[in-house]
Amino acid sequence: MKPSATIRTRLDDFVVDELPAYVPAGSGGHAFLHVRKRGLTTLECVARIARALGVPSRDIGFAGMKDRHAVATQYLSVPWPESTDLTPLRELRIDDIDVLDVQRHGNKLRTGHLVGNRFRIVLRDIDRDRVSAVVQEIGDLAVRGVPNAFGPQRFGRDGSNPGRAIAWIRGTGRGPRDPRMARLLFSSVQSWMFDRVLQARVEQGTWATALTGDVMKKHDTGGLFDCTDETVDAARAGRGEVSPTGPIFGADMRRPSGKPDDLEQAVLRDAVGDPSVLDRFRKIGAGSRRTLRVFPRETAAAANADGTVTVEFTLPKGVYATTVLGMVVELADATARHRETQEAPETSVHDEMLYDSPPGSG
């Protein structure tokens, strides 16, 4: 049985730093703000900056959402003509938001324009007799990898988003009018179906190996290929060179064949009925593939004198820190009770740590 641990007892117990996909060019009609936020969702951060600058929130770009219950750095873009001085942006003073840097760029920052995220997380309330084992186990994750699940943080505060999305897809419920919220809601059910496939592969013991018909991914280049020789590709998977992928369902998704396809299509039909209904949602979720396994990088864990454990690692975009930690400890989120007592606004489709990209990433 895994030991238990508590996360997010304090705001700075959970620190995440966004790793950008590129650096600003230094010129152009947009300003990239590198900001640090405390106790705010990304959308709340955007709204405060928009009010301070007198610009519409929709004009502010960001690569990914970061959790409210954290200290997080990320990049935002604001339309800012080249003839306009950057000083007002550098001197912004907004509660719970620090502007760390401002640089010009030629276009708006878009969802998914990041490499990944660097985490520093404090685990509390661990049985002192098991602290050393937790430190060792976390270090081992970088070698063996972990199932690349989305988990409940992708499904909304009360876990209802996949059900809402399924009703919308089947035509028995209404979808959001806001295009951004529509994309988030649709991606929640894509993520939910991926997790169902992954769970089945975990139960089969095949989540980290190759099956004939699998769409495999090369970890060094990101290239996809079909598994036609299970023995050869299973050996490569054992060395950590490649991993099988699972479905981010959509009209244009690359399908596997054989037993992997049988499993995926069974999950899809069980959720939405006729798979052809996905054709209507091509513009907001065309479909892609996501690895069933992920490897944390730059991993470190250290026991502290007070019995806590500080963990650091880097994850690709679209991968959740709680997924990684949950392989070693049973997580208790100190903010969960606070969240349960707050009614989610109708438009708040998602409010979690790393909604950084369409769910096929990783």
Tokens 């054709």, residue located: 279
Catalytic (active site) residue 67: yes
Domains defined for the chain, CATH in brackets: 4-122+296-340 (3.30.2350.20), 146-294 (3.30.2350.20)
**One of 67, 195, 233, 351 is an active-site residue; which one?**
67
pLDDT (mean) for 220-231: 96
Identify the bridge partners of residue 33 per DSSP, sorted by sequence position. Answer: 76, 102
Long-range (24+ apart) CB contacts under 8 A made by 254-259 are 254/215, 254/224, 254/287, 254/288, 254/289, 255/215, 256/213, 256/214, 256/215, 256/226, 257/213, 257/226, 258/211, 258/212, 258/213, 259/211, 259/212, 259/213
Condensed to tens digits (0 to 9), the pLDDT of residues 130-158 reads 999 999 999 999 988 999 998 887 887 78
Mean predicted lDDT score pLDDT of the chain: 91
Q: In whole angstroms, what is the distance from residue 330 CA to residue 187 CA?
A: 26
Condensed to tens digits (0 to 9), the pLDDT of residues 79-130 reads 999 999 999 999 999 999 999 999 999 999 998 899 999 999 999 999 999 9
Q: What is the pLDDT of residue 286?
A: 93
Q: What is the value of pTM for the model shown?
A: 0.82
3-state secondary structure of 245: strand
Cα torsion for 242, 243, 248, 254, to the nearest 10°?
50
Does residue 362 carry a pLDDT above 80? Answer: no
Q: In whole angstroms, what is the distance from residue 258 CA to residue 253 CA?
A: 16
Q: What is the pLDDT of residue 179?
A: 87
Which stretches of the chain are DSSP H helices?
A: 42-53, 87-90, 131-144, 161-170, 179-204, 230-238, 258-272, 321-325, 336-340
Does residue 357 carry a pLDDT above 60? Answer: no
DSSP state of 57: G
Does residue 337 carry a pLDDT above 80? Answer: no
